[in-house]
Amino acid sequence: MVTSEARRRSPQGSWTSRLAFVLALSGAAVGLGNIWKFPYIAGVNGGGAFVLIYLVCVFAVGLPIMMSEILIGRRGRRNPIATMGLLGEEESGNRKWSLVGLLGVGGSFIILSYYSVVAGWAVAYIFESVSGDFAGANPDQITAIFGGLTGNWVASAFWHTLFMGMTVFVVVRGVVQGLERAVRVLMPVLLGLLLLLLGYSMVEGEFVQGLIFMFEPRFDELTPTGVLSALGHAFFTLSIGMGAVMAYGAYVPDNVSISATSVTVVGMDTGIALITGLVIFPIVFANGLDPAEGPGLIFVTLPLAFGNIPGGTIVATTFFLLLSFAAWTSAISLIEPVVAWVTESRGISRPAATIGIGVAIWALGLLSVLSFNAMADVNFMWGTYFDSADFLTSNIMLPAGGFAIAVFAGWIMSRRSTAGELRLTNPAAYRLWRFASRFVAPAAVVLIFLNAIGVLGWLGMGG
Ligand code: TRP
């Protein structure tokens, strides 16, 4: 039995201020999802109308689930598996809710195994940019640079190893000395770099064309799949559904407002995704390139533009530094729930646990590295290991976790518990949250699932 004394603090420690928590959670949210994925999926889905639906999903579904996940984390004050078991027991006499935590810890493990590989490419591109490799390059040369990186498993594995090392380096030091210290430096720098790039694209890019592309709602370009990928991306970009937010929630001091921080973080994440679009599309248009390029938008199209614009080397370096920092603070949030679980359940020290888990994720990540070369033809459930890991986590595990969290907070937890954690002074705000948690969020997730099942029909076409 956990005493009330132990419930006041997580065994891992706690954030030293509200700002520290906001930075850590924004760091988790802002990542490859915002800078790499969002612009390209907005691009392939025609821009404006997609962006509008995405905004609705983020605020109507994502925000209430984020609040639920933080409040569960803070109430449990343990790693996600222990927290869900503990609260399940308290609220409904059923410890089996710990399975939701297990889904999250397992999902975070798998996500990091492919996330780290793409993040490694971002780090590699800092060096490509600095050495002037993009300057004046033609499309074939740019494609060859990207192909040379992804196609060469030794190179790709090297950057993946470096990135996992950077992640472990921070997390080994613990919540305050590691995570908090890293985000206090990285997040302000990230914001600064982004604003510099925005200034550049306003002056040198086709800014108005970029604005129109992103905000003019052309509904004829939006497909049902586009709507569902907006919903799926809302989960991914906010880091909800996988226990990462729950783990961070366990470190939140009692006097911090969950609703206010959630609104701030969701606003930051959305703002950064939109600003990134306003950096990328004007540069893409100014160079007569295709906004609907797909996953290669950041690694092929953009470097092509960087190679042909004034100050391109500096702009490219800034951009990939930004991308790497964003990925770094997100990777930290993906390994933390696993580390918290192993240290708390096995009594292993944080450094030993972090290094062990880091090595395990790194090893699984080698399958992602090989997905672009030696194992490109090896089919897992949904294509290569990389495609399958992405599909399984983004389209199945994430929505399942989000559904369970919304249902648990909305239907299983008592009004007294949730109202006590949220402490919303406005009764209408509480009712709105509860309505969203009970009805809107679960219904939206069922939609993503139906889509996933439909796609499952065409085995091998996911990713
Ligand atoms: N949100 C991050 C991004 O946009 C990725 C991420 C970090 C994540 N932690 C997560 C996604 C937990 C799902 C669950 O890049």
| Binding site membership of 334 for ligand 1 (Cβ less than 6 Å) | yes
The pLDDT value given to residue 6: 58
What's the pLDDT tens digit per position in 62-112?
A: 999 999 999 999 999 999 999 999 999 999 999 999 999 999 999 999 999
Instruction: Find tokens 């938008």 and name the residue.
Output: 297
The percent of residues above 70 in pLDDT, for the chain, comes to 96
* CA distance linking residue 434 with residue 444, whole number of Å: 15
| Binding site membership of 270 for ligand 1 (Cβ less than 6 Å) | no
Pocket test for ligand 1, best of 110, 237, 335, 339 (most atoms within 8 A of CB): 237
Q: How much is the average pLDDT of 287-307?
A: 88
CA 285–ligand 1 middle distance (angstroms): 29
What's the pLDDT tens digit per position in 160-207?
A: 999 999 999 999 999 999 999 999 999 999 999 999 999 999 998 999
| Binding site membership of 236 for ligand 1 (Cβ less than 6 Å) | yes
Q: How confident is the model at residue 459 (pLDDT cuts 50, 70, 90)?
A: very low
Predicted structure pTM score: 0.94
Task: Name the residue at shortest CA distance from atom 14 of ligand 1.
Answer: 239
| Binding site membership of 273 for ligand 1 (Cβ less than 6 Å) | no
192: left (phi over 0), alpha (psi -120 to 50) or beta: alpha
Q: How much is the average pLDDT of 362-382?
A: 95
| Binding site membership of 405 for ligand 1 (Cβ less than 6 Å) | no
- Reply yes or no on whether the pLDDT at 2 is more than 70: no
The pLDDT value given to residue 395: 79
What's the pLDDT tens digit per position in 240-260?
A: 999 999 999 999 999 999 999
Task: Name the residue at shortest CA distance from atom 12 of ligand 1.
Answer: 239
CA 361–ligand 1 middle distance (angstroms): 16
- Reply yes or no on whether the pLDDT at 269 is more than 70: yes
CA 449–ligand 1 middle distance (angstroms): 19
- Reply yes or no on whether the pLDDT at 461 is more than 70: no
Per-residue burial over 319-349, b = 16 or more CB atoms within 10 Å of its CB, e = otherwise: bbbbbbbbbbbbbbbbbbbbbbbbbbeeeee
Residues 6+ positions from 95 with CB-CB distance below 8 Å: 85, 88, 89
Q: How confident is the model at residue 279 (pLDDT cuts 50, 70, 90)?
A: very high
CA 396–ligand 1 middle distance (angstroms): 15
Q: How confident is the model at residue 1 (pLDDT cuts 50, 70, 90)?
A: very low
CA 27–ligand 1 middle distance (angstroms): 9
The pLDDT value given to residue 396: 84
Structural domains in the chain, CATH included, are 4-458 (1.20.1740)
Ligand 1 atom closest to the Cα of residue 107 is 14
CA 328–ligand 1 middle distance (angstroms): 11
Pocket test for ligand 1, best of 34, 121, 183, 242 (most atoms within 8 A of CB): 242
CA 5–ligand 1 middle distance (angstroms): 32
* CA distance linking residue 75 with residue 414, whole number of Å: 13
Residue 430's alpha-carbon distances to 245, 253, 360, 433, in angstroms, are: 20, 21, 42, 5
| Binding site membership of 33 for ligand 1 (Cβ less than 6 Å) | yes
Q: How confident is the model at residue 46 (pLDDT cuts 50, 70, 90)?
A: confident
